[in-house]
Amino acid sequence: MHTVTLIKGDGIGPDITEATLKVIEATGVKITWDEVTAGEGALEEYGTPLPEKVIESLNKNKVGLKGPLTTPIGSGFRSINVALRMELDLYANLRPSKTFPGIKSRYDNIDLVVVRENTEDLYSGVEHMVGTDAAESIKIITRKASERIVRFAFDYARDNGRKKVTAVHKANILKLSDGLFLDIAREVAAKYPQIEFEDRIVDNMAMQLVQKPELYDVMVMPNLYGDILSDLCAGLVGGLGVVPGANIGDNAALFEPVHGSAPKYAGKNYVNPSAMIMAAVLMLRHMEEREAADRIEKALAGQIKEGKDLTADLGGSAGTSEMAAALARRIKQAD
C-alpha cells in the first residue's frame, strides 16, 4: 500500500485528476491519496497559494501527483511551482518525450529524455539593475548542483535501460560556468563506463534535435537550456497535451502534466487527460510499480493509435471522463 500526496490543481486540474485516478485504479495498485490544496483554491481557503500543509504532506509521503496550478496574479508569488521545487529541493526536472503513433507530429519515432537542473543557473534570482539603463542577471553553476544532476541522469539511464547520456552546454563561450558543468559531467561519466557519454553545444543540439532526433537518448543540462530544449522535444511529439514531467529530489518527487490549468475549459469535461495519465505512469515507475505503469502506457498508446474514445484535441469527440473510462476498460481487459 502506498500513500501519495494529491494536489488536484486549478482550472482543468480536477477534471484530468479524476480521470487519472480512475485509470490508476484499473491497474489494481492500491494507493491512499493524501489530498491537499494549492494554487487558487488554497488562496481562497488559507490566504496563501502554498499552505504549509502541502509541504508537510510531500515531506511525509515523499511522492506527489499534481494537477496544473494557476499562479494567482498579484499575490506576491512568482510561481508556486518554483516555490515548491525550492522548498523541497526537487533538483531534477525529468521530461520524457515519446512518440504516440496516431498523434500528429513531424516525426514518428521520438524517444528522448531531458534532465534539467532545477535550482540554479540563471534562475537563482540574483538580478539587479545597474543604474537605470542596464540590468544584470547572474548565472550560477556549482559543483554540488552539477554533480547531482549529472549523476541523476546517469542513474536514470542505467535504471531505465537507456544507452547514452549527452551533456548540453555552452562551454565554448561561458568558459567558467558551463566549463565547470562540462568538466563535472565528464568526471561523473567516467564512473558509468557501461553508458555512452558525449557532449554537445546547446545551439548545435537544438539543430540536431530537429534534424536527427533519433541520434539522442538522455540529455542533461543546466536550467535555462533544459527549459528551452524540453519544450522543443515536446514539440517533436506533437505538443504539450501528452507530455508529463517530474520534479525529483533526494527526499521527495512530484509528478505533473507539463501543460497549464487552461481555465477556459475548467469543469467542462473537455480536455485531454493524457499528460496527467503519463505523469502517473512516471510516478508508478518511480514507486517501483513498473508493471502497472507499462500497462497504462501500452493501453493509452493503443487507444490513441486506434483513434477511438479520444478527446477533441486528439481528433475525437469523447469527454475527459469518457476517454479515461475507455482506457480503464482497456487496462482491465488486458488482464
Decide: helix, strand or coil at residue 116. strand
CB closest to ligand NAD, residue no: 260
Which DSSP letter does residue 78 get?
Answer: S
61 or 274: CB nearest ligand NAD? 274
CB count, 10 Å around CB of 224? 16
Report the greatest alpha carbon distance in the chain: 67
E strands, 154-207, in order: 164-169, 196-201
Which DSSP letter does residue 54 get?
Answer: H
Decide: helix, strand or coil at residue 166. strand
Distance CA 248, CA 177 (A): 23
Q: What is the contact surface with ligand NAD in residues (CB under 6 A)?
A: 68-71, 81, 240-241, 256, 259-262, 265, 271-272, 275, 313
22 or 139: CB nearest ligand NAD? 22
CB 205 within 8 A of CB 229: yes
69 or 157: CB nearest ligand NAD? 69
Alpha-carbon distance values, 106 to 97, 149, 272 (Å): 14, 30, 20
184 or 318: CB nearest ligand NAD? 318
Q: Which residues are catalytic?
A: 123, 170, 203, 227
